[in-house]
Structure 1
Amino acid sequence: MTSAFRLTPLDNATKHHAHDYHQIVIGLEGHAEFEIEGLGGHVAPLSGCIVPADHIHYYSGIGNNRQLILDLPDDAPALCGSYREQVRLFDAPRFFTLDESLRSYLNFLVLELGQPRHAPGELLATAFLGCLHARLSMHLPPASSPRLDLAIIDRYIQSHLAQRLSVAELARLACLSEAHFSDCFRRQTGLSPYKYVLRERLSTARELLSTSCLPLSEVAARTGFANQSALSHAIRRAFDQTPNQLRQTARIQTAGLNALA
């Protein structure tokens, strides 16, 4: 997936989802409401929000509205190589307001996207992210990071796996701000907190499917997925198998081991 700009209104009905790419939403006309992993805020013209990959977010437009949305995979050119530092923008959700210079660039960006042959999207995305990063980097935590006690965090995650877990909860365990915790966590584990929790949910779900006859709805409830459909989708994406296929594979392996015993 490459970086992609979209000019689109948001439905007035509240919706929610998560996706495996980062996203920046900037208001052009009207208003919208967002809640990103428990962090709520308002998007008005010339203000916006940052939605890190795999963060569940609720959103709704208010009346007539139009948003500029930038979708960015983790391996987008604007986040790789010499621009890798810019990925820190997505360590935690946040809301921001554009200054005068960025407002001028936004006007150019919207006009350019309206041209039949506009500048390459990756070039526009890289320039915009560089400008945004320069302005928001003063609010990012310093590069030096304390060592996190992952054993405490793992125990907390496992004991709350059936519940909705936010980055803010985990950050409180380490007595750090959400942004600083996310930065430390990524440096120490190589994963964002959300992806780490998702991995634990999927690992436990896989074990339950392989070792029990629990219905899929119960497995979903025990591992923190909204419903069995959400669990099925996550399992297919992570393991390239359906839940039933995982169960069948486990049964075949168990039968083979019993035959050898």
Structure 2
Amino acid sequence: MTDTIRLAPLDNAIQHHHHDYHQIVIGLSGYAEFEIAGQSGIVAPLSGCLVPANIEHYYEGIGDNRQLIIDLPDDASALTGMHRRSRSLFDRPGYFSLDESLQHYLQFLIQEMTRANHASGDLLVTTLLSSLHARLGATLCPPTLTKRAGRSLDIPRLEQFVIARLDRRLSVSDLANLACLSEAHFAERFRDQTGITPYQFVMRLRLTRVRELTTSTDMPLADIAERTGFANQSALSHAFRRHYGHSPMQLRRLSR
């Protein structure tokens, strides 16, 4: 694979993947959100991010947006030979803003790309990377992150997902995948938004269903435990008593 450079918008739906080449994304217009190996940031006009190869990342364009996207395999001319120092840009994920000189070069690069007989893409990319390394190399360790915009989690959707699977073992990873976030980022955002952990959220939904089945049916507790994701009747009773202050059977007697 040779390095590729293109102008493109990012989809307005959350996407995630990883690839075996490095990538640079620079904002030209509009905004995009990224999460790269758990590090979140906003790519605004004249700012960008560095995505190392084989690192899972999530991204989403916000409204109308246009990005400069550069894909760089390990053997790209911009990363080998006399330019191999530029490889250090991809030692870790990073977010950056373009200074005035880089902004001028970006304008030249965009204009050059639109010309019929433009300069070699390899040359354009090599010059950009060398300039980025010269100006940003010292500031990308650790990267300066822009806090990701606080888009709310869809709690009703998460609740429906859990309720439909109460008889199964559910993990934070299952919920994070539904929200297209890393597990750590999802857990942090969930606590910030709801005041409880994802585990507590799932447990409350399980116990709510236990309470409903206990008061509205004569179903044995062992069967209720199986339907609501508890390992056995004892585990159900312990969790129920700790949450409500009394046992399921006490509740059943009081409700009759």
| TM-score, reference length from structure 2 | 0.55
Percent identity of paired positions between Structure 1 and Structure 2: 62
Higher gyration radius (CA): 2
Q: What are the superposed Cα offsets for residues 58-79 of structure 1, whole Å, 9 maximum, x if unpaired?
A: 0000000000001100110110
Distance 1:19 1:25 in 2: 14
Secondary structure (helix, strand or coil) at the match of 1:11 reads coil
The aligned residue for residue 12 of structure 2 is 12
Any idea what the Cα deviations from partners look like across 1:169-201, whole Å, max 9, x if unmatched? xxxxxxxxxxxxxxxxxxxxxxxxxxxxxxxxx
Map of 1:62-77 to 2, 5 A cutoff? 62-77=62-77
Q: In the aligned structure 2, how far is the partner of 1:42 from the partner of 1:24? A: 14
Letter in 1 for 2:89: L
Aligned to 1:103: 103
Listed as ranges, the matches of 1:137-148 within 5 Å are: 137-139=137-139
SS at match of 1:92: coil
Q: CA deviation at 1:140?
A: 5.6
CA-to-aligned-CA distance 1:129-148 (integer Å, 9 cap, x gap): 0000001122366xxxxxxx
Contact 2:23/2:52 (CA < 8 Å) preserved in 1? yes
CA distance in 1, matches of 2:140, 2:31: 27
TM-score (normalizing by structure 1): 0.54
Is the Cα–Cα contact under 8 Å of residues 94 and 140 in structure 2 kept in the other structure? no
Partner of 1:223: none
Unaligned runs of 5+ in 1: 142-161, 169-261
Report how far residue 3 of structure 1 moved: 1.1
Corresponding residue number in structure 1 for 2:192:
none
Asked if 1:132 is matched to 2:132, the reply is yes
Residue 69 of structure 1: SS of its match in structure 2?
strand
User: CA, structure 1 residues 104+111, in 2 after alignment: closer, same or farther (shift >3 Å)?
Assistant: same
Task: Give the RMSD, CA atoms, in angstroms.
Answer: 2.1
Letter in 2 for 1:123: L
Residue of structure 1 equivalent to 2:117: 117
Q: What amino acid maps onto 1:99 in structure 2? A: D
- For 1:38-77, list aligned pairs within 5 A: 38-77=38-77
Tell me what 1:228 maps to: none
Q: Which residue of 2 aligns with 1:145?
A: none
CA deviation digits over 1:36-75, x for unaligned, max 9?
0100000000000000000111000000000000110011
1:110-142 residue CA offsets vs partner (Å, 9 max, x unmatched) = 11111112111110011000000001122366x
1:2 partnered with 2:2: yes
SS in 1 for 2:134: helix
SS in 1 for 2:2: coil
The equivalent residue for 2:23 is: 23
Instruction: Report the Cα distance in structure 2 between the residues aligned to 1:115 and 1:49, rounded to whole angstroms.
Output: 26
C-alpha displacement of 1:91? 0.4
1:116 alignment partner AA: A
SS at match of 2:101: helix
1:13 and 1:44 mapped to 2: Cα distance?
A: 17
Partner of 1:85: 85
Q: Distance in 1 between matches of 2:113 and 2:138?
A: 30
How many aligned residue pairs are there?
A: 146
SS in 2 for 1:16: strand
The residue type equivalent to 1:125 in the other structure is: V
Instruction: State how far apart, in whole Å, the 1-side matches of 2:41 and 2:125 are.
Output: 24
Task: Write out aligned runs for 1:154-173 (5 A).
Answer: none
2:56, 2:19 → 1: CA distance? Answer: 8
